[in-house]
Amino acid sequence: MTERSSAPSAAAFETWPALPIEAWSDTCATLQLWMQVVGKVRLALMPPINHTWSVTLYPTIRGLTTSPMPHGSRMVQIDFDFLQHLLSVQTSEGDLHAFELRPMSVASFYGKLMGALADVRTPVHIWNKPVEIADPIRFDDDEQHCHYDAEYAQRFWRVLLQVTRVFTAFRARFRGKVSPVHLFWGAMDLACTRFSGRTAPPHPSMPNLPDRVTCDAYSHEVSSAGFWPGAAGVGAMFYSYAYPEPPGYREYRIQPASASYDPNFGEFVLPYEQMRLSPDPDDTLLRFLQSTYDAAADCAHWDRQALEVAPVSPAA
Protein backbone atom coordinates (compact mmCIF):
# COMPACT_ATOMS: atom_id res chain seq x y z
CA MET A 1 0.00 0.00 0.00
CA THR A 2 1.28 3.44 -0.91
CA GLU A 3 0.83 6.53 1.24
CA ARG A 4 0.18 9.84 -0.48
CA SER A 5 2.99 12.20 -1.39
CA SER A 6 2.83 15.99 -1.43
CA ALA A 7 4.96 16.14 -4.59
CA PRO A 8 2.95 15.87 -7.85
CA SER A 9 3.92 13.03 -10.15
CA ALA A 10 4.65 13.42 -13.85
CA ALA A 11 1.19 11.97 -14.56
CA ALA A 12 -0.35 15.02 -12.87
CA PHE A 13 0.68 17.09 -15.90
CA GLU A 14 -0.51 14.63 -18.58
CA THR A 15 -3.87 15.21 -20.26
CA TRP A 16 -4.45 11.46 -20.53
CA PRO A 17 -2.29 9.72 -17.88
CA ALA A 18 -1.47 6.02 -18.02
CA LEU A 19 -3.79 3.85 -15.92
CA PRO A 20 -2.42 0.27 -16.06
CA ILE A 21 -4.75 -1.94 -14.06
CA GLU A 22 -1.88 -4.14 -12.87
CA ALA A 23 -0.44 -1.11 -11.03
CA TRP A 24 -3.58 -0.18 -9.11
CA SER A 25 -6.11 -3.04 -9.20
CA ASP A 26 -6.20 -3.30 -5.39
CA THR A 27 -6.76 0.44 -5.03
CA CYS A 28 -9.38 0.33 -7.78
CA ALA A 29 -11.31 -2.41 -5.97
CA THR A 30 -11.15 -0.58 -2.64
CA LEU A 31 -12.10 2.77 -4.16
CA GLN A 32 -15.11 1.20 -5.86
CA LEU A 33 -16.38 -0.01 -2.48
CA TRP A 34 -15.74 3.38 -0.82
CA MET A 35 -17.75 4.99 -3.61
CA GLN A 36 -20.53 2.48 -3.08
CA VAL A 37 -20.77 3.54 0.57
CA VAL A 38 -21.03 7.20 -0.46
CA GLY A 39 -23.38 6.36 -3.31
CA LYS A 40 -25.73 4.47 -1.01
CA VAL A 41 -26.00 7.58 1.17
CA ARG A 42 -27.16 9.44 -1.94
CA LEU A 43 -29.54 6.59 -2.74
CA ALA A 44 -31.03 6.86 0.77
CA LEU A 45 -31.51 10.64 0.68
CA MET A 46 -32.55 11.46 -2.89
CA PRO A 47 -36.06 11.04 -4.30
CA PRO A 48 -36.05 8.49 -7.14
CA ILE A 49 -35.39 9.91 -10.61
CA ASN A 50 -35.85 7.98 -13.85
CA HIS A 51 -33.08 5.57 -14.92
CA THR A 52 -31.56 5.78 -11.39
CA TRP A 53 -30.06 9.19 -12.23
CA SER A 54 -30.71 10.18 -8.61
CA VAL A 55 -27.91 7.94 -7.29
CA THR A 56 -24.94 8.96 -9.44
CA LEU A 57 -21.76 10.85 -8.54
CA TYR A 58 -20.27 13.71 -10.56
CA PRO A 59 -16.65 14.68 -11.39
CA THR A 60 -15.43 18.01 -10.02
CA ILE A 61 -12.23 20.00 -10.39
CA ARG A 62 -10.97 18.31 -7.21
CA GLY A 63 -12.55 14.85 -7.28
CA LEU A 64 -16.10 13.53 -7.15
CA THR A 65 -19.25 14.83 -5.47
CA THR A 66 -22.72 13.68 -4.53
CA SER A 67 -23.95 17.25 -5.18
CA PRO A 68 -26.37 18.64 -2.53
CA MET A 69 -28.73 16.05 -1.01
CA PRO A 70 -31.80 16.83 1.14
CA HIS A 71 -31.79 15.80 4.80
CA GLY A 72 -35.10 17.15 6.02
CA SER A 73 -34.96 20.86 5.26
CA ARG A 74 -31.15 20.90 5.37
CA MET A 75 -28.76 19.97 2.55
CA VAL A 76 -25.70 17.76 2.88
CA GLN A 77 -22.93 17.05 0.38
CA ILE A 78 -20.11 14.48 0.32
CA ASP A 79 -16.95 15.09 -1.71
CA PHE A 80 -13.89 13.05 -2.62
CA ASP A 81 -10.91 15.39 -2.95
CA PHE A 82 -8.16 13.64 -4.91
CA LEU A 83 -5.84 16.65 -4.81
CA GLN A 84 -5.54 16.79 -1.01
CA HIS A 85 -6.81 13.21 -0.56
CA LEU A 86 -9.69 14.00 1.75
CA LEU A 87 -13.29 12.93 2.15
CA SER A 88 -15.48 15.81 3.30
CA VAL A 89 -19.07 15.98 4.55
CA GLN A 90 -20.61 19.47 4.52
CA THR A 91 -24.04 20.93 5.19
CA SER A 92 -25.90 24.03 4.07
CA GLU A 93 -25.60 25.36 7.64
CA GLY A 94 -21.81 25.43 7.52
CA ASP A 95 -21.04 22.13 9.28
CA LEU A 96 -17.92 20.37 8.03
CA HIS A 97 -16.28 17.07 8.90
CA ALA A 98 -13.37 15.75 6.81
CA PHE A 99 -10.97 12.83 7.11
CA GLU A 100 -7.86 11.76 5.23
CA LEU A 101 -8.02 9.30 2.37
CA ARG A 102 -5.27 6.80 3.03
CA PRO A 103 -4.87 3.02 3.16
CA MET A 104 -7.77 1.81 5.32
CA SER A 105 -10.29 -1.00 5.20
CA VAL A 106 -13.78 -0.57 3.82
CA ALA A 107 -15.05 -1.21 7.34
CA SER A 108 -12.94 1.68 8.66
CA PHE A 109 -14.05 3.99 5.82
CA TYR A 110 -17.68 3.06 6.46
CA GLY A 111 -17.31 3.83 10.17
CA LYS A 112 -15.59 7.16 9.51
CA LEU A 113 -18.25 8.27 7.04
CA MET A 114 -21.15 7.29 9.28
CA GLY A 115 -19.43 9.11 12.14
CA ALA A 116 -18.90 12.21 9.97
CA LEU A 117 -22.57 12.26 8.98
CA ALA A 118 -23.61 12.01 12.61
CA ASP A 119 -21.13 14.73 13.56
CA VAL A 120 -22.71 17.23 11.14
CA ARG A 121 -26.19 16.24 12.37
CA THR A 122 -27.27 14.38 9.23
CA PRO A 123 -27.24 10.70 10.27
CA VAL A 124 -28.13 8.29 7.46
CA HIS A 125 -28.96 4.58 7.53
CA ILE A 126 -27.98 2.60 4.43
CA TRP A 127 -28.20 -1.00 3.27
CA ASN A 128 -24.57 -1.87 3.90
CA LYS A 129 -23.97 -4.61 1.34
CA PRO A 130 -22.20 -3.93 -1.99
CA VAL A 131 -23.87 -4.44 -5.36
CA GLU A 132 -22.64 -5.46 -8.82
CA ILE A 133 -19.70 -7.46 -7.46
CA ALA A 134 -19.26 -11.17 -6.84
CA ASP A 135 -19.13 -12.50 -3.27
CA PRO A 136 -20.01 -9.16 -1.58
CA ILE A 137 -18.89 -8.50 1.99
CA ARG A 138 -20.89 -6.18 4.26
CA PHE A 139 -19.20 -2.79 4.45
CA ASP A 140 -18.84 -2.93 8.23
CA ASP A 141 -17.22 -6.39 8.02
CA ASP A 142 -14.87 -5.79 5.10
CA GLU A 143 -11.26 -5.72 6.32
CA GLN A 144 -10.05 -7.32 3.06
CA HIS A 145 -10.17 -4.29 0.78
CA CYS A 146 -7.82 -1.73 2.34
CA HIS A 147 -5.59 -0.25 -0.37
CA TYR A 148 -5.20 3.36 -1.42
CA ASP A 149 -2.44 4.42 -3.81
CA ALA A 150 -2.86 8.20 -3.86
CA GLU A 151 -1.11 8.66 -7.19
CA TYR A 152 -3.35 6.22 -9.04
CA ALA A 153 -6.50 7.43 -7.34
CA GLN A 154 -5.59 10.88 -8.63
CA ARG A 155 -4.79 9.55 -12.12
CA PHE A 156 -8.21 7.88 -12.23
CA TRP A 157 -9.89 11.17 -11.30
CA ARG A 158 -7.89 13.08 -13.93
CA VAL A 159 -9.02 10.60 -16.56
CA LEU A 160 -12.64 11.07 -15.44
CA LEU A 161 -12.28 14.84 -15.90
CA GLN A 162 -10.94 14.47 -19.43
CA VAL A 163 -13.60 11.91 -20.33
CA THR A 164 -16.26 14.30 -18.99
CA ARG A 165 -14.86 17.07 -21.20
CA VAL A 166 -15.01 14.98 -24.39
CA PHE A 167 -18.31 13.29 -23.51
CA THR A 168 -19.87 16.71 -22.89
CA ALA A 169 -18.86 17.83 -26.38
CA PHE A 170 -20.47 14.67 -27.77
CA ARG A 171 -23.56 15.13 -25.59
CA ALA A 172 -24.08 18.60 -27.08
CA ARG A 173 -24.71 17.05 -30.48
CA PHE A 174 -28.06 15.61 -29.39
CA ARG A 175 -31.32 17.50 -28.85
CA GLY A 176 -33.31 14.46 -27.74
CA LYS A 177 -33.40 13.07 -24.23
CA VAL A 178 -29.83 12.51 -23.03
CA SER A 179 -28.42 11.80 -19.60
CA PRO A 180 -25.88 13.90 -17.72
CA VAL A 181 -22.29 12.69 -17.80
CA HIS A 182 -22.26 10.89 -14.48
CA LEU A 183 -20.56 8.09 -12.56
CA PHE A 184 -22.46 4.95 -11.60
CA TRP A 185 -20.78 3.69 -8.44
CA GLY A 186 -21.95 0.10 -8.83
CA ALA A 187 -19.36 -0.66 -11.50
CA MET A 188 -17.53 2.70 -11.12
CA ASP A 189 -18.08 3.68 -14.76
CA LEU A 190 -18.64 7.16 -16.16
CA ALA A 191 -21.47 7.15 -18.68
CA CYS A 192 -23.66 9.22 -20.98
CA THR A 193 -26.82 7.80 -22.55
CA ARG A 194 -28.94 8.91 -25.51
CA PHE A 195 -32.60 7.90 -25.88
CA SER A 196 -34.56 7.37 -29.10
CA GLY A 197 -37.87 8.18 -27.37
CA ARG A 198 -39.31 4.70 -27.89
CA THR A 199 -40.05 2.24 -25.09
CA ALA A 200 -37.96 -0.91 -24.79
CA PRO A 201 -38.79 -4.52 -23.86
CA PRO A 202 -38.01 -5.63 -20.25
CA HIS A 203 -34.27 -5.99 -19.73
CA PRO A 204 -32.94 -9.45 -18.82
CA SER A 205 -31.74 -10.00 -15.26
CA MET A 206 -28.16 -9.00 -14.43
CA PRO A 207 -25.96 -10.61 -11.74
CA ASN A 208 -25.90 -8.88 -8.35
CA LEU A 209 -28.38 -6.21 -9.44
CA PRO A 210 -32.12 -6.09 -8.63
CA ASP A 211 -34.46 -6.45 -11.62
CA ARG A 212 -36.26 -3.23 -10.64
CA VAL A 213 -33.02 -1.33 -11.31
CA THR A 214 -32.47 -2.76 -14.79
CA CYS A 215 -36.14 -2.37 -15.71
CA ASP A 216 -36.00 1.31 -14.75
CA ALA A 217 -32.61 1.95 -16.36
CA TYR A 218 -33.63 0.37 -19.67
CA SER A 219 -37.30 1.31 -19.84
CA HIS A 220 -36.60 3.08 -23.14
CA GLU A 221 -34.41 2.40 -26.16
CA VAL A 222 -30.85 3.65 -25.65
CA SER A 223 -27.42 4.14 -27.11
CA SER A 224 -25.06 4.41 -24.17
CA ALA A 225 -21.32 5.03 -23.95
CA GLY A 226 -18.95 5.15 -21.02
CA PHE A 227 -15.51 4.75 -19.51
CA TRP A 228 -14.69 1.85 -17.19
CA PRO A 229 -11.36 1.78 -15.28
CA GLY A 230 -11.07 -1.99 -15.49
CA ALA A 231 -10.65 -4.73 -12.91
CA ALA A 232 -8.03 -7.36 -12.09
CA GLY A 233 -6.90 -8.82 -15.41
CA VAL A 234 -8.94 -6.40 -17.57
CA GLY A 235 -7.58 -2.99 -18.56
CA ALA A 236 -9.42 0.33 -18.69
CA MET A 237 -11.68 0.81 -21.69
CA PHE A 238 -14.34 2.87 -23.34
CA TYR A 239 -17.54 1.03 -24.20
CA SER A 240 -20.69 1.62 -26.20
CA TYR A 241 -23.82 -0.49 -26.47
CA ALA A 242 -27.41 -0.36 -27.67
CA TYR A 243 -30.46 -1.69 -25.88
CA PRO A 244 -32.24 -3.46 -27.35
CA GLU A 245 -29.45 -4.41 -29.73
CA PRO A 246 -30.87 -4.04 -33.28
CA PRO A 247 -30.09 -6.44 -36.16
CA GLY A 248 -26.80 -5.65 -37.88
CA TYR A 249 -25.48 -3.61 -34.94
CA ARG A 250 -22.43 -5.69 -34.07
CA GLU A 251 -21.40 -5.93 -37.75
CA TYR A 252 -21.54 -2.15 -38.26
CA ARG A 253 -18.22 -0.61 -39.27
CA ILE A 254 -17.03 1.68 -36.50
CA GLN A 255 -14.00 3.85 -35.81
CA PRO A 256 -11.14 3.80 -34.94
CA ALA A 257 -9.69 0.54 -36.24
CA SER A 258 -8.50 -0.33 -32.72
CA ALA A 259 -12.13 -0.56 -31.54
CA SER A 260 -14.21 -3.70 -31.96
CA TYR A 261 -17.35 -5.50 -30.83
CA ASP A 262 -16.65 -7.76 -27.85
CA PRO A 263 -19.23 -10.57 -27.69
CA ASN A 264 -18.31 -11.32 -24.06
CA PHE A 265 -19.29 -7.81 -22.99
CA GLY A 266 -21.99 -7.40 -25.64
CA GLU A 267 -20.52 -3.97 -26.42
CA PHE A 268 -18.17 -2.13 -28.70
CA VAL A 269 -14.93 -1.49 -26.79
CA LEU A 270 -11.94 0.80 -27.25
CA PRO A 271 -8.96 0.15 -24.95
CA TYR A 272 -8.06 3.29 -23.02
CA GLU A 273 -4.33 2.78 -23.58
CA GLN A 274 -4.75 2.67 -27.36
CA MET A 275 -6.86 5.83 -27.29
CA ARG A 276 -4.46 7.81 -25.12
CA LEU A 277 -1.42 6.84 -27.26
CA SER A 278 -3.12 7.75 -30.54
CA PRO A 279 -1.91 10.92 -32.37
CA ASP A 280 -5.10 12.80 -31.38
CA PRO A 281 -6.78 11.14 -28.38
CA ASP A 282 -9.76 13.54 -28.30
CA ASP A 283 -10.55 12.91 -31.96
CA THR A 284 -10.06 9.15 -31.54
CA LEU A 285 -12.55 9.08 -28.67
CA LEU A 286 -15.08 11.29 -30.47
CA ARG A 287 -14.92 9.05 -33.55
CA PHE A 288 -15.60 6.03 -31.36
CA LEU A 289 -18.57 7.75 -29.69
CA GLN A 290 -20.03 9.01 -32.97
CA SER A 291 -19.60 5.84 -35.01
CA THR A 292 -21.02 3.54 -32.32
CA TYR A 293 -23.99 5.87 -31.93
CA ASP A 294 -24.36 5.80 -35.73
CA ALA A 295 -24.50 2.01 -35.50
CA ALA A 296 -27.36 2.12 -32.97
CA ALA A 297 -29.29 4.92 -34.65
CA ASP A 298 -28.99 3.57 -38.18
CA CYS A 299 -29.66 -0.08 -37.36
CA ALA A 300 -32.65 0.77 -35.12
CA HIS A 301 -33.97 3.50 -37.47
CA TRP A 302 -33.93 6.41 -35.02
CA ASP A 303 -35.37 9.72 -36.23
CA ARG A 304 -31.90 11.21 -36.54
CA GLN A 305 -32.99 14.45 -38.22
CA ALA A 306 -35.24 15.28 -35.27
CA LEU A 307 -32.81 14.15 -32.55
CA GLU A 308 -29.41 15.46 -33.62
CA VAL A 309 -27.64 18.83 -33.60
CA ALA A 310 -24.66 19.80 -35.76
CA PRO A 311 -21.44 20.13 -33.71
CA VAL A 312 -20.53 23.71 -32.78
CA SER A 313 -16.99 24.72 -31.89
CA PRO A 314 -16.82 26.39 -28.45
CA ALA A 315 -15.93 30.08 -28.40
CA ALA A 316 -12.26 30.83 -27.80
Per-residue HEC secondary structure of the chain comes to CCCCCCCCCHHHHCCCCCCCHHHHHHHHHHHHHHHHHHHHHHHHHCCCCHHHHHHCEEECCCEEECCCEEECCEEEEEEEECCCCEEEEEECCCCEEEEECCCCCHHHHHHHHHHHHHHCCCCCCCCCCCCCCCCCCCHHHCCCCCCCCHHHHHHHHHHHHHHHHHHHHHHCCECCCECCCEEECCCCEEEEEEEEEEECCCCCCECCECHHHHHHHCCEEEEEEEEECCECCECCEEEEEEECCCCCCCCCCCCCCCCEEECCCCEEEEEHHHHHCCCCHHHHHHHHHHHHHHHHHHHCCCCHHHHECCCCCCCC
pLDDT tens-place string over residues 209-238: 777 888 888 889 999 999 999 998 999 999
Q: What is the pLDDT of residue 192?
A: 98
Contact between 3 and 100 under an 8 Å Cβ cutoff? The reply is no
Q: What is the pLDDT of residue 218?
A: 83
Q: What is the pLDDT of residue 3?
A: 38
Q: What is the pLDDT of residue 2?
A: 37
Q: What is the pLDDT of residue 8?
A: 59
305 alpha carbon, distance to own chain's centre = 30
Contact between 314 and 173 under an 8 Å Cβ cutoff? The reply is no
Listed as ranges, residues in the chain with pLDDT below 50 are 1-6, 316
Q: What is the pLDDT of residue 30?
A: 98
100 alpha carbon, distance to own chain's centre = 22
